């Protein structure tokens, strides 16, 4: 099961673009990359998922280089409400008995 | 479509008691996973159920158990509660683990406090 490494914390001002990079050197061929956002005392909220290149939705973009050993979550023009912990996970839900493993996540603090 | 619901949202128990937590997945979802979250250990996987069968299990003692019903609703039980069981218990549902891009959606959690 691929492990992930993320920065423990990041600070940003409101209105800036925030990029959080996750390293997953041992990612397997069938693994997908998924990002979750979690606010205190709430369940994680799915943000975005991808396999390669670039994925974009209404809240974020996910950039994955060709070697797939890392990925970058991009949050455009963050606001105070984006202050949360962001988790990067890699895994293959299709494979036998491999649950997703959450790391420590990145604590993003958005400052006014 | 309604999200994942968990009941109760808050629970206070004393050591030695047992507790049952409930999770109703998103309509149409057949897989339910349970996680424990504590400040020290973060989010840890407990077990996953699919089609009423335990598909996977994390490294937790046998005091932690679960089950899934035919309507995909799931319950987890913790017997002989210990102080260290105080945590946020999260349930996540997904369509079917056999799907390549199967995505888990989390409920709000049950905050268990053991005194």
With CA atoms as reference, the chain A residue closest to B48 would be A99
B46 in contact with A, Cβ within 8 Å? no
Q: What is the pLDDT of residue A99?
A: 67
Q: Quick one: pLDDT at residue A94? A: 62
pLDDT (0 to 100) of residue B97: 75
Residue B1: pLDDT over 90: no
Can you say how many angstroms the Cα of residue B10 is from the centroid of all Cα atoms in its chain?
14
Q: What is the DSSP string of A33-98?
A: EEEEEE-TTS--EEEEEESSEEEE-SS-EEEE-TT-SEEEEEESS--GGG-EEEEEEEE-TTSTT-
For residues A30 and A94, the answer to whether their CB atoms sit within 8 Å is yes
CB pairs under 8 A between A and B: 64
CB of A28 within 8 Å of any CB in chain B?
A: no
Residue B46: per-residue pLDDT? 94
A42 min Cα distance to partner chain B (Å)? 5
On whether any CB of chain B is under 8 Å from the CB of A98, the answer is: yes
pLDDT category, A101, cuts 50, 70, 90?
confident
CA distance A16 to chain B (A): 28
CA distance B15 to chain A (A): 23
A23-33 pLDDT, tens digit per residue, is: 999 888 888 89
Q: Smallest Cβ distance to B42: which of A32, A99, A104?
A: A104
Model confidence over A43-70: pLDDT tens digits? Answer: 999 999 999 999 999 999 999 999 999 9
Give CA separation, B20 vs B9, B55, B76, B78, in Å: 12, 20, 6, 7
Question: Measured between CB atoms, which of A34, A43, A93 is closest to B99?
Answer: A93
Q: What is the pLDDT of residue B100?
A: 61
B85 in helix, strand or coil?
Answer: helix
pLDDT tens-place string over residues A64-100: 999 999 999 999 999 999 999 999 998 876 655 566 7
Token pair listed for B104: 């888990």
Q: Cβ neighbours of residue B73 under 8 Å, at least 6 residues apart?
A: B22, B23, B24, B25, B32
Selected residue of B10, B104, B112 to mutate for chain A interface (largest A Cβ count, 10 A): B104
Please indicate if any CB of chain A lies within 8 Å of the CB of B40.
no
CB contact under 8 A, B56 and A98: yes
- Look up residue B59 and give its DSSP letter: S
What's residue B41's pLDDT? 86
pLDDT at A30: 84
Mean per-residue pLDDT for B79-83? 97
Q: Can you give the pLDDT at residue A67?
A: 95
Inter-chain residue contact B100 with A46, CB threshold 8 Å: no
Which residues of B fall within a CB distance of 8 Å from A46? 103-106
Whether the per-residue pLDDT at B59 is higher than 70: the answer is yes
Residue A2: pLDDT band (50, 70, 90) is low
**Which residue of B lies nearest to A97 if distances are taken between CA atoms?**
B56
Which of A6-15, A41-50, B52-61, B91-100 has the lowest average pLDDT?
B91-100
Lowest mean pLDDT among A50-54, B23-27, B41-45, B99-103: B99-103
Residue owning tokens 């009423």: B52
What is the predicted pLDDT for the residue at A14? 97
């Amino acid at each position: 099961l691929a492990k992930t490494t993320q920065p423990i914390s990041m600070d940003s001002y409101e209105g800036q673009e925030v990029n959080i990079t996750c390293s997953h050197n041992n990612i397997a061929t069938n693994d997908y990359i998924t990002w979750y956002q979690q606010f205190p005392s709430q369940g994680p909220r799915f943000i975005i998922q991808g396999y390669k290149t670039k994925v974009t939705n209404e809240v974020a973009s996910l950039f994955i280089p060709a070697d797939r050993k890392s990925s970058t979550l991009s949050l455009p023009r963050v606001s105070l409400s984006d202050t949360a912990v962001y988790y990067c996970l890699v895994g293959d839900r299709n494979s036998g008995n491999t649950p997703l493993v959450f790391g420590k996540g990145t604590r993003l603090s958005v400052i006014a | 479509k309604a999200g994942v619901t968990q009941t109760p949202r808050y629970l206070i128990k004393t050591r030695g008691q047992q507790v049952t937590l409930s999770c109703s997945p998103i309509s149409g979802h057949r897989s339910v996973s349970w996680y424990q979250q504590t400040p020290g250990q973060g989010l840890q996987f407990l077990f996953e159920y699919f089609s009423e069968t335990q598909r996977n299990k994390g490294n937790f003692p046998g005091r932690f158990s679960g089950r899934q019903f035919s309507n995909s609703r799931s319950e987890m039980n913790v017997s002989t509660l210990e102080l260290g069981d105080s945590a946020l218990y999260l349930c996540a549902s997904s369509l079917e683990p056999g799907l390549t891009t199967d995505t888990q959606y989390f409920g709000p959690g049950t905050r268990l406090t053991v005194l």
